[in-house]
Structure 1
Amino acid sequence: MANAAQSDDHIPVIVGVGEITDRPKEITDGLEPLALLEQALKRAEADSGSKLLGDIGSLDVVNFLSWRYRDPEKQLAGRLGIKPAHLYYGPVGGESPIRYLHEAAQRIARGECGVAAVCGAEAQSTATKAERAKVELPWTPFAHDVEEPKRGAAFQKPMAVKLGVFRPITVYPLYETATSAHWGQTPREAMAESGELWSVYSKVASENPNAWLKRRFSPEEITTPTPENRLIAWPYNKLMVANPTVNMGGAVLLTSLAKARAAGVAENRIVHVWGGASAEEPRDYLIRDQFYESHPQNAVLKSVMDLAGGDGRKFDAIELYSCFPCVPKMARRTLGLGPDVQPTVTGGLTFFGAPLNTYMTHAACAMVRRLRGGAKLGLLYGQGGFVTKHHGLVLSRQAPGHALAQDTSVQAEADRHRGKVPEFVTEASGKGKVESFTVLYGRGGEVEHGVVMMRTANDCRALARVPANDGATLAHLTNMDRTPVGSLGDIAMAEDGVLEWQHP
């Protein structure tokens, strides 16, 4: 039962979820993000069984990238005819929907509002098709004078940008290769784990009516490169990475327990917010201590496990963020879950679809439905950047038995485990030891170049190129039966001022 000292006016609950997946027959019939948001919110209100949109006092809108607006949160509030005291449009980050849900729940717990909404939408599929067809969309005019939000390259070192390792698809492989080597896996074993895991995500997506790609893929289909499933950045094929070319909107409505009951929300629709945790890595990934684990991820997941009695197996419904396989593979180990874990209630960013920053809004919707359907304890884990920002949230149909905590950062715990960070250098000679690596591929499957993150003789960190014509070194890097992590090679400076690494 809820804490007796806690008034129902201060107990936050989720009462409504709404989603829309837009597949227009004609490009110009596609709904813009603002329209998708409005539809998702109306569906969330209908799902609650009561009239709540007019009472929204807190509205968080997840950042969108498929279309640029001036003050989209104000435009949305105007469409809804509301003037919430808290009105926020946040920065880029895949963890942001979970953070907004958590903060909205905390606002309700503090008595600052009675109804809160979190929503996000993207229309990248329609926007991309319109651009290719040179079709003008009848949407709110694109706000060219609004600054584009800062993303990957803005936070990375010039050498990372020069070598192409500044986008998610080229940075996450550095974690993939470092973690699997640390766990004692051969690349073949690591690939098999990824294939099995992603096949489970695809099965869940195939059963989710809101998913973009409703087809179950076998592990072999996912891990085998083909012209349709091309290698993008070693060891990731197209079916192992997020698919942002979708049109989707999602929304979650929260109220106080008192407000929910007064509004006539059925008891079996109410889902309690138990609490959660957050922590971050430095945005410049090259100033992290290592790449085989994430201290903030560990701290966040251990904190949410504490809410479940210290045992990750107590969660019978789980969503582990799935932009790339390394993320849920790391998370399941920290949670103490085996490779047979069902890591999703939604379907994953490859198969359900990756509406950029707002996938976890849809995951929250799927989690609420799963809990209403009989699951006891749900974990939502989202992350953003390059294994950078982490947020976990625990939900249940049952009341938590404790008041919602207001201080939920576990940054100090994460930082306590951080080791010495090596100095980053752009000049070196002698031998370099592989700390991690990837190989970048063109659209036709051709190697563009390899990138080795290495430690120099004096234990500095450097990035080095492996030219496309160095077949022997590339074969060493992509050997499926033996990881190159930890191997030594020769460092040389190329004419363009970039270090190169060669396996002897």
Structure 2
Amino acid sequence: MTDKPPIPDHHIPVIVGIGEIVDRPKEITDGLEPLDLLERALQRAEADAGARLISEVQSLDVVNFLSWRYRDPERLLAQRLGITSAHCYYGPVGGESPIRYIHEAAKRIARGECTVAAVCGAEAQSTATKADRAGVKLPWTPFAHDVEEPKRGAAFQKPLAVKLGVFRPVTVYPFYEAASSAHWGQTPHQAMAESGTLWSRYSEAAAQNPNAWLKRRYTPDEITTPTAENRLIAWPYNKLMVANPSVNMGGALLLTSLAKARAAGIAEDKLVYPLGGASAEEPRDYLLRDQFHESHPQNAVLKAAMDLAGGDGKKFDAIELYSCFPCVPKMARRTLGLSADVRPTVTGGLTFFGAPLNTYMTHAACAIVRRIRGGDKLGLLYGQGGFVTKHHALVVSKIAPRDALAQETSVQAEADRNKGAVPQFITEASGKGKVESFTVLYGRGGDVEHGVVMLRTEDDRRTLARIPASDEGTLGHLLNMDRTPVGSLGDITMAADGVPEWRVA
């Protein structure tokens, strides 16, 4: 048996440059617009590589941004950079998209379709929000009012979910939080303690990251204790447990073929190799899922990433597990077989580093490249978008790959094989209902607005039901820290406004 021939250098993709920018203007009107942040991040990535590459970019991916609207922002950026790319793309909303774009750019290089690729993203939400509140006109590229806003959360959800307020990330992820912790046999108190400890570790990483928005360590108690500054939003999440989008940030990566990197004189210690990865997704309507204690696409994607590391999640030296809400990395680290004392971030998390909406993982990729350059051998980047909807993982290494980059990355079939029966959803129900999961929504003043339970009826159909703020007994049952309400029975009745309501038996 003969050894496989080595992969030609011009078919080996490599990350050669990373660039980040954080903008904290003293005056609102001095704030940089997203196009400025993109351009400067790419210039920094080029400087980091130590070679003139931007003028040779043949593949340009721009992560979707929401703080300002342009017509064809990818074309505007290409014009600014003076490049004509065969692949010039501005993608849809999705927190996993930076990892997908880096992976796809690597595959283009592996196929020989290009030799230099750029992936970049930026947001200027902090400046845009301050300007809007102050009534200040920003001296930016005119806002493209005629460009349709991308569809998000509510556009894909059932009317009853929208009516009850459970159509935004902060009100949907709690369903996974409650269902998963109950499945693991945790009391709500234990689940909250795990979240606080985990988030404190994310804040430690942010404190060490010069690009982070909040650069200080928070204790577990600071994170989990509601205060006026750390108000409850949707049980069990306080403000310090959710993503912080009010930041101004840009990030960029440059990839080339190994042959191009060497021809350009890029130092060997700069090179980080993508080894491969995987993707899968759920239906956008979260009520079309079989259950909420785990994510089959997440499991399939992470297991495929582990296979690239010899089937052992502990072989990753540097890890970034997407952290919009605690349930995501809590589920992921269990799938990876990692211990509870792991710190699954090199960046700092979407609460503390900051959440430039879809492009957090661009910054995470920059951070993991720094770690691999600094001596770590193997890194895992796991991004996620929607409501535990879209998943993409990428494995990167200090050592050049022995095998060509696989072109088929979908593990959708594996995810779908593990999916159970999806219960029929109904909007009118009566009789007994068993709690599948729940949350409680709070107003800005800290008062309960109402509770929401996801229920299974006696004939195993699914519905959503409200618990009025006046039903203190049922709310007390939901918020008991010593015993999960998941699995408990109660009575469903239809309220005068046509919404099911639930009272604990």
Would you say same fold, with TM above 0.5? Answer: yes
Post-superposition CA distance 1:401-455 (Å, at most 9, x none): 1110000100000000000000000111111000000000000001000000000
What letter is aligned with 2:231?
Answer: R
Q: Which residue of 2 aligns with 1:373?
A: 374
Q: Which residue of 2 aligns with 1:248?
A: 249
What letter is aligned with 1:329?
Answer: K
Over aligned residue pairs, what C-alpha RMSD do you find?
Answer: 0.7
Aligned-residue offset at 1:6: 1.5
1:443–1:77 Cα change, 3 Å: same
Equivalent-residue separation in structure 1 for 2:194 and 2:4 (angstroms)? 43
The secondary structure found in structure 2 opposite 1:414 is: helix
Equivalent-residue separation in structure 2 for 1:261 and 1:152 (angstroms)? 45
Post-superposition CA distance 1:245-278 (Å, at most 9, x none): 0000000000000000000100000000000000
Contact 1:202 1:347 in 2 (8 A): yes
Q: Which residue of 2 aligns with 1:103?
A: 104
Aligned-residue offset at 1:4: 3.2
Q: Which residue of 2 aligns with 1:436?
A: 437
Contact 2:7 2:402 in 1 (8 A): no
Equivalent-residue separation in structure 1 for 2:236 and 2:183 (angstroms)? 16
1:14 equivalent in alignment to 2:15: yes
Aligned-residue offset at 1:5: 3.7
Aligned-residue offset at 1:351: 0.1
Q: Please show how residues 313-392 of structure 1 align to structure 2 within 5 Å.
A: 313-392=314-393
Post-superposition CA distance 1:329-381 (Å, at most 9, x none): 00000000011111000000000000000000000000000000011100000
Equivalent-residue separation in structure 1 for 2:94 and 2:445 (angstroms)? 30
Post-superposition CA distance 1:193-215 (Å, at most 9, x none): 00000000000000100000001
Q: Which residue of 2 aligns with 1:193?
A: 194
1:74 equivalent in alignment to 2:72: no
Aligned-residue offset at 1:400: 1.9
Equivalent-residue separation in structure 2 for 1:468 and 1:194 (angstroms)? 26
The secondary structure found in structure 1 opposite 2:432 is: strand
1:128 equivalent in alignment to 2:120: no
Equivalent-residue separation in structure 2 for 1:4 and 1:325 (angstroms)? 45
The secondary structure found in structure 2 opposite 1:344 is: coil
Per the normalisation by structure 2, the TM-score is 0.99
Number of residue pairs the alignment of both structures matches? 503
Contact 2:6 2:402 in 1 (8 A): no
1:184 equivalent in alignment to 2:185: yes
The secondary structure found in structure 1 opposite 2:251 is: strand
Q: Which residue of 1 aligns with 2:149?
A: 148
Q: Which residue of 2 aligns with 1:214?
A: 215
Q: Which residue of 2 aligns with 1:263?
A: 264
Q: Which residue of 2 aligns with 1:305?
A: 306
Post-superposition CA distance 1:114-166 (Å, at most 9, x none): 10000000000000000000000000000000000010001100000000000
Task: Report the identity percentage.
Answer: 80
The secondary structure found in structure 1 opposite 2:58 is: strand
Equivalent-residue separation in structure 2 for 1:403 and 1:387 (angstroms)? 30
The secondary structure found in structure 2 opposite 1:393 is: strand
Contact 1:93 1:385 in 2 (8 A): yes
Equivalent-residue separation in structure 2 for 1:5 and 1:348 (angstroms)? 38
Equivalent-residue separation in structure 2 for 1:170 and 1:119 (angstroms)? 29
Equivalent-residue separation in structure 2 for 1:429 and 1:499 (angstroms)? 8
1:295 equivalent in alignment to 2:296: yes
Instruction: Give the ranges of 4+ consecutive aligned residues of structure 1 lying more than 2 Å apart after TM superposition.
Output: 2-5
Contact 1:200 1:342 in 2 (8 A): yes
What letter is aligned with 1:218?
Answer: T
Equivalent-residue separation in structure 1 for 2:389 and 2:235 (angstroms)? 21
Q: Which residue of 2 aligns with 1:466?
A: 467
Contact 1:321 1:382 in 2 (8 A): yes
Q: Which residue of 2 aligns with 1:228?
A: 229
The secondary structure found in structure 1 opposite 2:154 is: helix
Post-superposition CA distance 1:229-248 (Å, at most 9, x none): 00000000000000000000
Equivalent-residue separation in structure 2 for 1:171 and 1:342 (angstroms)? 25
What letter is aligned with 2:85?
Answer: P
What letter is aligned with 1:261?
Answer: R
Equivalent-residue separation in structure 2 for 1:342 and 1:485 (angstroms)? 29
Post-superposition CA distance 1:437-486 (Å, at most 9, x none): 00000000010000000000100000000001111100000100000000
Contact 2:280 2:390 in 1 (8 A): yes
Post-superposition CA distance 1:275-328 (Å, at most 9, x none): 000000010000100000000000000000000000000001000000000000
Contact 1:3 1:403 in 2 (8 A): no
